[in-house]
Amino acid sequence: MKTDPGWPLVPGETPIDDVSGLLVPNVGTRRQLNQIEAENVTRAAAKYLVGELTEADAPFTFDWLFALHREMFGNVWDWAGKPRTCDLNIGCPAYDVEAQVANLVADLAYWGKGPYPLVHDAALLHYRAVKIHPFLNGNGRWARMLANVWLRRHGARPIVWPEPLIGEVSPIRAEYIAAIQTADRNDLRPLVALHERYATG
């Protein structure tokens, strides 16, 4: 089993301590891994963020939330779409992952109908998905995709986040992490403001 790849840790990210589940051979750097993952994520984005999207395409069921992660990373990691079985430096305890995802799905049935604008609900979905952190990695990208698919399901345009160059740190990473940390203190405003800034319509 290959462990501890020795790649520099990007601040605020989940460390990749074990690359034994990597399906792609001859990956020796984080830049190479990011490139491969980006290609897989792009295919999922084309499916959900371009063209018509129906409830059947994105039903927001318990199983679909896990399947979305598998679509984004399934050609890269053999554990894609599977709830993690170990605790990480962020997220709920592993034993609580499935229950927390089920609670999120149940709550979503009431969203999009209340007093809050869609962008607020998208930011809250994004935040709650990140805080659960159901997977060994790719949780932030999955949460952002999840929020964007939810926006499209409700007739809104997706958020276009400023993506970093392959292998580089996102230009808004520090601000993004600070917004998540502020949401931990029950103040969602900075994260909503980020979503509003990069909303496309």
The CATH number of whichever domain residue 126 belongs to comes to: 1.10.3290.10
What is the pTM for the complete model shown?
A: 0.89
Q: How confident is the model at residue 201 (pLDDT cuts 50, 70, 90)?
A: low
pLDDT greater at residue 141 or residue 9:
141
Structure confidence at residue 9 as a pLDDT band (50, 70, 90): low
Q: Which residue has the higher pLDDT, 8 or 137?
A: 137
Task: Give, in degrees to the nearest 5, the angle at Cα 201 between 162 and 178.
Answer: 40
Structural contact between residues 61 and 105, judged by C-beta atoms closer than 8 angstroms: yes
Which tokens go with 121? Answer: 């609900």
User: What is the residue range of 37's domain?
Assistant: 30-197
Residue-level pLDDT at 168:
62
Q: For the chain, how many structural domains are there in total?
A: 1
Residue 106 covered by a domain: yes
Q: pLDDT (tens digit, 9 = 90+) per residue, 52-69?
A: 899 999 999 999 999 999
Query: What number of other Cβ atoms are within 10 A of residue 9's Cβ?
Result: 10
* Distance (Å) of CA 47 to CA 50, 67, 159: 6, 13, 16
Average pLDDT over residues 86-94: 94
Does pLDDT of 130 surpass 90? yes
- Establish if 104 belongs to a structural domain: yes
Number of Cβ within 10 Å of residue 86's Cβ equals 9
Residue 38 has pLDDT above 70, yes or no: yes
Band of residue 106 on the pLDDT scale cut at 50, 70, 90: very high
- Our CA angle for 115, 122, 54, nearest 5°, is 100
Return left, alpha or beta for 193; rule: phi > 0 is left, psi -120 to 50 is alpha, else beta: alpha
Residue 23, domain member (yes or no): no
Given this model, what pLDDT does residue 149 score?
A: 97
Whether residue 3 is contained in a domain is answered as no
Does 57 reside within a domain?
A: yes
Phi and psi, residue 18, nearest 5°: -135, 115
Res 3 pLDDT > 50: no
- Whether 126 is in a domain gets the answer yes
pLDDT of 197 above 70: yes
